[in-house]
């Protein structure tokens, strides 16, 4: 039999039918819902008199529109309140499981799916959110889709899609001490561009990937969409299975043994074909940061911002510099910041909280900085409190808040004010993403925390005595 990569293996296994001149009918094992992109799908279910095919395969939560203050139960914004209540009503009427506020599992949809063991190797998953690629960290084929395709998946357990091209990304080499998974994926995006993996599903391979925790793997798969990929995944291994064991929806007993066996098959065959392959050398690589208005505008903190002379996309670069109030060929180190944000489906997990606490311990954030730390879920919040991280954050002057998407996209009251500069552990530095006319620099949680302490863009290395006292 011809050598196959894992992407095609999962695709072929979920192929329901294939007809000439039609896209493939692909079976969807799991659907994740949140308040922003589902209401219109439910409306159409009602209007067209359809039923939901496999309710047990659907899980919902509330994340984008809710406030993150302690009184979040009262949503003051009437439109957001209606949106949240609509999801509650829809789930109730259709008997769909929803993890609501104070259920112990409410959180960002891409944080709670894995946390509950709902995300499993070899499955197909859709959600009305582009960062659904996160679930690929478990060897799942997970697509971000629009509202129409949520409707399709709910009504038929299938979606119509052309088979994707495949793209192999191998990270090689040993990076410097403070280089994290976030830096690795930013380096990939800077290398291939924000449309670089268009039409493709990425498989991430190599020793570096295998050495990463599930949290870090999720960070990498999460940002696959930022280089245009339809999804990104990593073949499951012992790290994956260890993470999944004993979680709420993870198969138990003999069924877990079966999952272990299935995972052995869920690898790309030796010499499997990919439409594109790239090697990203991260030998001695240092932390990354974005300077512009999309995630490909990323450089190492040690580098200078790019020149516009002779640049192919000069117009975009000039627009980016004008918006971020920076100059070509300047260093970002030392640029004063107003806000620091830790959170999101990219970097709002317990590992990220620990990294930040490690830097903030016995330190205080700079007086010019407002720092929000928003856990990705109620479970992350609980674990952080059990470990005493909440006290470290409070002592450092940071605001440790309730779970949600928060300042990543500013749909709720958490926004960066106009003209203010934020260093952020999130995924998009688009114009106005964190609030109208706000400026975003994407970086790792470690770089965000170090910059918050110093009051300007800096690496962990720049903090006095860091390393010596640890």
Partner 1 sequence: MDKFRQLSASVIPLDLDNIDTDMIIPAIHLKSISRSGYGDGLFSALKELYPDFIFNNAKYSSGQILLSKANFGCGSSREHAVWAILQYGIKIVVCSSFSDIFFNNAAKNGLLLIALPESIINKWIKLSLEDPDLAMTVNLLNNKISFNKEEYDFDYDPYRKHCLIEGLDDLTYLLSQDTAITEYEVKRG
**Pairwise CA distance, residues 409 & 407, whole Å:** 5
432: Cα within 13 Å, side-chain hemisphere = 3
CA angle 101, 413, 91 (to 5 degrees): 35
Q: Which is nearer to partner 1, 341 or 393 (CB)?
A: 341
Out of 37, 68, 124, 324, the residue judged to bind partner 1 by CB under 8 A: 37
For partner 1, the binding residue among 4, 25, 55, 276 (CB under 8 A) is 25
Cα gap 369→224, rounded to integer Å:
30
Contacts with 271 (C-beta within 8 Å, 6 or more apart), sequence order: 3
Asked if 64 is part of the footprint of partner 1 (rule: CB under 8 A), the reply reads yes
Radius of gyration of the chain (CA): 22
Contact, 400 vs 342, CB < 8 A? Answer: no
Residue 182 near residue 346, CB atoms below 8 Å: yes
Among 4, 147, 239, 276, binds partner 1 (CB under 8 A): 147
Site string for partner 1, 281-320 (x = CB under 8 A): -------------x------------------x-xx--x-
- Token pair belonging to 95: 């008997």
Question: Binding residue for partner 1 (CB under 8 A) from 55, 94, 97, 155?
Answer: 155
Per DSSP, the three-state class of 125 is strand
The residue among 23 and 336 lying less far from partner 1, judged by its C-beta, is 23
Q: Determine the Cα angle at 251 with ends 246 and 252, to 5°.
A: 60
Among positions 390-419, residues that touch partner 1 (CB under 8 A) are 409-411
16 binds partner 1 (CB under 8 A): yes
Considering only residues 104 to 143 of the shown chain, the ones binding partner 1 according to CB under 8 A are 128-130, 132
Q: What are phi and psi of 360, to 5 degrees?
A: -80, -15
Q: Map the footprint of partner 1 across residues 423-462, applying CB under 8 A.
A: 428, 430-433, 436-437
Q: Does 103 bind partner 1 (CB under 8 A)?
A: no
End-to-end Cα separation, the chain, in angstroms: 53
- Chain residues that interact with partner 1, rule: CB under 8 A: 16-17, 21-23, 25, 27, 36-37, 39-40, 43, 48, 50, 53, 64-65, 77, 79-80, 82-83, 86, 128-130, 132, 144-149, 151-152, 155-161, 194-195, 198-199, 225, 228, 230, 294, 313, 315-316, 319, 409-411, 428, 430-433, 436-437
């Amino acid at each position: 039999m011809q050598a196959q990569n894992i992407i095609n293996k999962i695709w072929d296994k979920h192929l329901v039918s294939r007809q000439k001149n039609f896209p493939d009918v692909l079976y969807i094992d799991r659907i994740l819902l949140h308040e922003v992109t589902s209401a219109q799908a439910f409306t159409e279910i009602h209007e067209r008199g359809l039923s939901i095919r496999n309710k047990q395969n659907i899980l919902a939560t509330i994340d984008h529109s809710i406030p993150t203050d302690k009184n979040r139960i009262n949503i003051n914004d009437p439109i957001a309140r209606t949106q949240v209540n609509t999801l509650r009503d829809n789930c109730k009427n259709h008997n769909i499981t929803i993890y609501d506020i104070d259920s112990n599992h409410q959180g960002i949809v891409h944080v709670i799916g894995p946390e509950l063991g709902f995300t499993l190797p070899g499955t197909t998953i859709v959600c009305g959110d582009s960062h659904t690629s996160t679930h690929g960290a478990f060897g799942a084929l997970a697509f971000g889709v629009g509202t129409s395709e949520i409707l399709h998946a709910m009504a038929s357990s299938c979606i119509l899609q052309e088979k994707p091209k495949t793209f192999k990304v191998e990270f090689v080499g040993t990076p410097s001490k403070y280089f994290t998974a976030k830096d690795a994926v930013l380096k990939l995006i800077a290398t291939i561009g924000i449309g670089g993996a268009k039409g493709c599903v990425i498989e991430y391979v190599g020793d570096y990937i295998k050495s990463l925790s599930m949290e870090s793997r999720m960070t990498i798969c999460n940002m696959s969409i930022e280089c245009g990929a339809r999804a990104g995944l990593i073949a499951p291994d012992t790290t994956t299975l260890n993470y999944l064991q004993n979680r709420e929806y993870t198969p138990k007993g003999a069924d877990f043994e079966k999952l272990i066996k299935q995972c052995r098959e869920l690898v790309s065959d030796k010499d499997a074909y990919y439409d594109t392959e790239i090697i990203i050398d991260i030998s001695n690589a240092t932390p990354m940061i974005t300077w512009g208005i999309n995630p490909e505008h990323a450089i190492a903190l040690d580098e200078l911002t790019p020149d516009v002379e002779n640049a192919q996309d000069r117009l975009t670069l000039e627009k980016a510099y004008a918006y971020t109030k920076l100059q070509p060929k300047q260093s970002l180190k030392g640029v004063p910041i107003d806000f620091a944000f830790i959170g999101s489906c990219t970097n709002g997990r317990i590992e990220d909280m620990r990294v930040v606490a490690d830097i903030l311990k016995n330190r205080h954030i700079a007086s010019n900085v407002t720092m929000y730390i928003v856990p990705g879920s109620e479970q992350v919040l609980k674990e952080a409190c059990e470990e005493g991280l909440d006290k470290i954050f409070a002592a450092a002057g940071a605001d440790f808040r309730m779970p949600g998407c928060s300042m990543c996209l500013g749909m709720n009251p958490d926004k960066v004010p106009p003209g203010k500069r934020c260093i952020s552990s999130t995924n998009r530095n688009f114009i106005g993403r964190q609030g109208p006319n706000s400026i975003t620099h994407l970086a790792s949680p470690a770089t965000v925390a170090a910059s918050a302490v110093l009051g300007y863009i800096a690496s962990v290395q720049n903090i006095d005595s860091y390393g010596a006292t640890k």
